[in-house]
Amino acid sequence: MTVTSTQVQLAARPVGDPKHSDFKITTVELPPVGSDEMLCRIIYQSLDPYMRGRMDDTKSYAAPVQIGDVMGAGTVAEVVESKNAQFRPGDIITGMFGWQTHVISNGVGIRKIDPALAPISTAIGILGMPGMTAYVGLLDIGEPKKGETVVVAAASGAVGSAVGQIAKIKGCRVIGVAGAAEKCTFVTEELGFDACLSHHSGNLDAELAALCPDGIDVYFENVGGKVFDAVFPLINPFARIPICGLISRYSHIGGFPGPNELPKLMRSILTNRLKIQGFIITERWSRFPDFEKDVSGWIQSGALKYREDFVDGLENAPEAFMGLLKGKNFGKLVVRVSDDPTA
Amino acid sequence: MTVTSTQVQLAARPVGDPKHSDFKITTVELPPVGSDEMLCRIIYQSLDPYMRGRMDDTKSYAAPVQIGDVMGAGTVAEVVESKNAQFRPGDIITGMFGWQTHVISNGVGIRKIDPALAPISTAIGILGMPGMTAYVGLLDIGEPKKGETVVVAAASGAVGSAVGQIAKIKGCRVIGVAGAAEKCTFVTEELGFDACLSHHSGNLDAELAALCPDGIDVYFENVGGKVFDAVFPLINPFARIPICGLISRYSHIGGFPGPNELPKLMRSILTNRLKIQGFIITERWSRFPDFEKDVSGWIQSGALKYREDFVDGLENAPEAFMGLLKGKNFGKLVVRVSDDPTA
């Protein structure tokens, strides 16, 4: 029997915002399952802001996707057929299978997940890369202390929503910044942040200053641009700024007009003894056991909530991804590629 | 007997570069030595770039010097008369006595020094604040690893010269940046740096790139401006940038013309997972015992050399300080305020 996989490939490198013609949806025939290999059917596929960077041909932490390659992504899949001793048909697994419906895998870098622990989609969300980005970035780099003020951008998103709730668990005062009013309401009423501002308000600087009378001790940066500009004048001595993303800048074309703000930042780093540190979660995987234990415990106790935003069908992934970069998603964006047998 | 102290006071806040009229040299009568107090004669007074910042009335890590106050400085002094049980006449001590010839002290924050250990002037140099800034900033924040490339600005100065030599002791490849040609020669031939470039060359970017074929892993920042600009494109993934000073910017007036380089820096922090951290050595004093043990050992073994640049007479301190900000000193700048009884 021949198995085909529908794939979303990179057709062209985006200039600025990605558009439909930058993606190509095509169907390829998969080879037979070889020795030690397995055929996997993808159930859920993650869409994350970092993917925008990988569409560019610039030096970054990960090699760029090549034109004609399948777009990369974390996925949850079911093993359909297996010649690999470690996996059996019916196993639910997670791995970086990309934007496609089926794949042949040799099992390297693949992890079995337990459907009894939580809905399997969370393996690419709150119990996967985004949740761990929040956990490690906030705790290991942000080092929040009880009573401190923590500001979180993209507060209703996959990472930001977890950052703010973990900061609350650690006894901090937490201010979120999000877009739409319904997101801000969700962040305060459902997730329990102390306050949430909209970056559409036109008055973010003054509003944030009013909400942070004691300054800001931790700013979890995943946006860049005007949220950082509003945070910067309020930053406290010894503040920590973990940087895991800069979504507002990913599709920016060209330079940035003056004045040059870099000398002001350097002066503040010195006089305020700031720590600003970038990190990539895949390089901190040793923290996974602590992360999984803590976060699954918090989910079970109700201390930590998560919201997923499902899109049906691989063919809708490009449109959903373009929306993600504009903040149109509401919660962790997940493509439902095929039926979830555990749901 | 009435004792007088000649003092250098802050007469006016400098606009840009300090000038003579920003300082006032005057003589005041000291009160009698009270209970638990002692009269001290200052022998050596430190001149350091950070003092420029304290002349401004802007928010910083230390309160600004007020108009009419004595300029602050680390000093080495001799106890002349004592009603404090912990100090006796003839004791050599170090403390923040400022730009003056005599002072009444209650002994708080004062440390006795052992003239047998090293020349007493080193207590405000290689065995004092500048040496410890180098040691702690490089080792605790810079975290140099054997075989890595370390770049040090102001390489012949009090801090930079120690940073580079400690990095060599730790097995790194060390490139210095200095001004005058004789300083560059000193840095390579006397201190053993692998190379030293002049920031006057007009071609610093290309020269530094040629000397760092494997990129830069640690940049010890104490200058800012064009040295940072040359380092930035060469920075490696996981590089560390401790910031203890920004001398090139201290007297800058107004803003900085565009383009805005801040977004580019933020992107590099993310994609290269950089750590950029400011620090003030007085807040890391717990490291003093390790520092004193290691650095005095390295001095005794000949692994670490230091150079002092003496200026005679308190009345010449303002001129010497202005020169320091222009890089006219050669080594740790010290004012010889009065005779050294141990020399």
Report pLDDT digits (tens) over B224-236.
888 999 999 999 9
Q: Which of A256, A267, A278 comes nearest B249 by C-beta? A: A267
How distant is the Cα of A269 from the closest Cα of chain B, in angstroms?
Answer: 5
Residue B61 pLDDT level (bands cut at 50, 70, 90): low
Q: ipTM beyond 0.95?
A: no
Residue A226 pLDDT level (bands cut at 50, 70, 90): confident
Subunit contact B273:A280, Cβ cutoff 8 A: yes
- pLDDT higher than threshold 80 for residue A126: yes
Q: Could you identify the residue written with the tokens 């403390």? A: B95
- Do the Cβ atoms of B196 and B175 come closer than 8 Å? yes
Q: So what's the pLDDT on residue A26?
A: 97
Distances (CA, A) of A312 to A92, A288, A297: 19, 29, 30
3-state secondary structure of B269: helix
For chain B, what is the mean pLDDT?
94
| Structure confidence by residue, pLDDT tens digits, B93-103 | 999 999 999 99
Mean pLDDT for the stretch of residues A130-148: 97
Per cent of chain B over pLDDT 70 is 99
Q: So what's the pLDDT on residue B145?
A: 98
Q: Is-same-fold flag (B4-125+306-336; B129-284+292-297)?
A: no
- pLDDT higher than threshold 70 for residue A222: yes
Residue B298 pLDDT level (bands cut at 50, 70, 90): very high
Per cent of chain A over pLDDT 90 is 82
Question: What residue segments make up the domains of chain B, in order of their start?
Answer: 4-125+306-336, 129-284+292-297
A4-125+306-336: CATH topology? Quinone Oxidoreductase; Chain A, domain 1 (3.90.180)
Mean pLDDT for the stretch of residues A94-122: 95
Burial class for A134, CB neighbours closer than 10 Å (0-12, 13-18, 19+) = buried
Nearest CA in chain B to A245: B270
Residue B258 pLDDT level (bands cut at 50, 70, 90): confident
Q: So what's the pLDDT on residue A308?
A: 96
Mean pLDDT for the stretch of residues B8-36: 96
Residue A57 pLDDT level (bands cut at 50, 70, 90): confident
Using a CB-CB cut-off of 8 Å, the residues of chain B touching A228 are: 266
Q: So what's the pLDDT on residue B59?
A: 67
Using a CB-CB cut-off of 8 Å, the residues of chain B touching A277 are: 269, 273-277
State which H helix or E strand residue B335 sits in: strand B332-336
- Do the Cβ atoms of B141 and B242 come closer than 8 Å? yes
Find the helix packing angle between A288-301 and A158-169, rounded to 10°. 80
How distant is the Cα of B141 from the closest Cα of chain A, in angstroms?
Answer: 10
| Structure confidence by residue, pLDDT tens digits, B202-225 | 899 999 999 999 999 999 998 888
Per cent of chain B over pLDDT 90 is 82
Mean pLDDT for the stretch of residues A30-42: 96
Among positive and negative, which fits the CA dihedral A240, A243, A248, A252? positive
- pLDDT higher than threshold 70 for residue A60: no
Subunit contact B243:A270, Cβ cutoff 8 A: yes
Q: So what's the pLDDT on residue A117?
A: 85
More confidently predicted of A116 and B248? A116
Subunit contact A273:B259, Cβ cutoff 8 A: no
Using a CB-CB cut-off of 8 Å, the residues of chain A touching B270 are: 243-246, 278
Residue A253 pLDDT level (bands cut at 50, 70, 90): confident
Q: So what's the pLDDT on residue A21?
A: 96
| Domain B129-284+292-297 CATH superfamily | NAD(P)-binding Rossmann-like Domain (3.40.50.720)
Nearest CA in chain B to A283: B273
How distant is the Cα of A250 from the closest Cα of chain B, in angstroms?
Answer: 9
Distances (CA, A) of A302 to A157, A297, B56: 18, 9, 51
Best residue of B244, B251, B262, B280 to probe chain A, by most A CBs closer than 10 Å: B262
- A275-278 and B275-278: which strand pairing? antiparallel
Lowest-pLDDT choice from A100-114, A235-249, B118-132, B295-309: A235-249
Q: Provide residues of A within 8 Å CB-CB of chain B.
A: 53, 59-61, 221, 224-225, 228, 237, 243-246, 249, 252, 255-267, 269-280, 283
> What DSSP line would sit under A11-71, residue for residue?
-S--SSS--GGGEEEEEEEPPPP-TT-EEEEEEEEE--THHHHHTS-S--SSPPPPTTSBP
Mean pLDDT for the stretch of residues A178-189: 95
Q: So what's the pLDDT on residue B60?
A: 67
State which H helix or E strand residue B162 sits in: helix B158-169
| Residue closest to B290 by CA, chosen among B179, B139, B185 | B139
Subunit contact A249:B255, Cβ cutoff 8 A: no
Q: So what's the pLDDT on residue A59?
A: 67
For chain A, what is the mean pLDDT?
94
How far is CA A204 from its chain centroid? 24
3-state secondary structure of A329: coil
- pLDDT higher than threshold 80 for residue B116: yes
Lowest-pLDDT choice from A91-100, B66-75, B243-252, B272-281: B243-252
Q: So what's the pLDDT on residue A224?
A: 82
Using a CB-CB cut-off of 8 Å, the residues of chain B touching A262 are: 256, 260-262, 265
| Structure confidence by residue, pLDDT tens digits, B305-325 | 999 999 999 999 999 999 999
| Structure confidence by residue, pLDDT tens digits, A9-23 | 999 999 999 999 999
Spatial separation of the C-alpha atoms in residues B261 and B334, rounded to whole Å: 37
Buried b (16+ CB within 10 A) or exposed e, B63-95: ebbeeeebbbbbbbbbbebbebeebeeebbbbb
Spatial separation of the C-alpha atoms in residues B37 and B83, rounded to whole Å: 5
Partners of residue A94 on adjacent β-strands? A76, A111
Using a CB-CB cut-off of 8 Å, the residues of chain B touching A273 are: 61, 277-280, 283
Subunit contact A266:B258, Cβ cutoff 8 A: no
| Residue closest to B118 by CA, chosen among B90, B136, B94 | B94
